[in-house]
Amino acid sequence: MSRTTARLRTDSATRLAELERQRPEWQAWFGLHREAEHELADADWDRVIAESDPAPSLSDPTFNRVPLLHGRTLRVDGTRLQRLIRRLLTAASRLDGPASLRGYQPTVAEAVSLTESAMRQNRGEIAALATARRIDAGALISLAHLAALPLLRASGRGLQQEHHWAHGYCPVCAGWPILAERRGLDRSRWLRCGRCAGAWEVQWLTCVYCGEQNHERLGSLVPEDGSELHKVETCTSCRGYLKSIASLRAFPPLELLLVDLETVEFDLVALDRGYRRPAESGFALDLELIDDAPG
């Protein structure tokens, strides 16, 4: 495996600018993500999580297998979600995004439904709406994911708890990890969710997707120079892969995206070797969004 990425740097702004220079084809995506980022730090999203119907408590026997968002009802401002999605659509059009999304203007009900489907990772529902509106399903799925990020990140901040979690999917939102961190001097293995930025520690020599523990079926792809700062964990049982990065600390939520993009060549190598990330979520999340806008 060739060494394809430079050493991770600490200046996020410089790193982002370098990525934009190196990957001009990603300009539209960067623009869309910046539009979503404007909402991420707004405390109103945290209030939505805090005031939602409660999830299972620590004493609930299902706690160790049910994500914390499962069974919740979130009361959101549908008009605000509609405005966010429309801003994303405008940004996509301005930045030469998918032409098939141009002209699409979701109603408030559609905006709430799109965001709920994205949070539940129900791509089929989003694709069905795209077909009905005669727009590109893949583009709408990506846009809906960005629209859900403020609520997902607020979920990560408000619901994450210190507890044992033995599963590969996120204990908050049921998303698969975007990467694994090998933290500190003891190299403990922490998984990081790319949706809510949740973090949970798991044991070594276990596939996060299928639970395989036979060391003969677990492997890794490493750079030709022998460095293990970055590597790819692989499983021949399910043909799954996960990027693994050595780090002294947890990556901040906004840095997860940068680290993922800076190591995209590792994804390409894994895909070329026949490894894949699961297309379906690891847990069928039951979640409801209700429009609770004033008036």
How does pLDDT run across 277-294, given as a tens digit for each residue? Answer: 998 899 999 999 999 876
pTM of the predicted protein model:
0.87
Going by the DSSP 8-state scheme, the letter that residue 39 receives in this structure is H
- From the list 154, 219, 166, 220, the residue with the least C-alpha distance to 191 is 166
pLDDT band at 18 (very low <50, low <70, confident <90, very high): confident
pLDDT of 257 > 80? The answer is yes
How does pLDDT run across 202-212, given as a tens digit for each residue? Answer: 999 999 999 99
Measured at the CA of 92, the angle between CA 194 and CA 253, to 5 degrees, comes to 20
Instruction: Take residue 133 and report the two structure tokens written for it.
Output: 């509106």
Asked if residues 111 and 60 have their Cβ atoms less than 8 Å apart, the reply is: no
How does pLDDT run across 98-145, given as a tens digit for each residue? Answer: 667 888 999 999 999 999 999 999 999 999 999 999 999 998 998 999
Find the radius of gyration of the CA atoms of the chain: 19
* Per-chain mean pLDDT for the chain: 86
Instruction: Take residue 82 and report the two structure tokens written for it.
Output: 């509609």
Q: Look at residue 11 in the predicted model and tell me its pLDDT.
A: 66
Domain boundaries, the chain: 24-162+285-291
- From the list 193, 195, 260, the residue with the least C-alpha distance to 15 is 260
How does pLDDT run across 132-182, given as a tens digit for each residue? Answer: 999 999 989 989 999 999 999 999 998 876 566 889 999 999 999 999 999
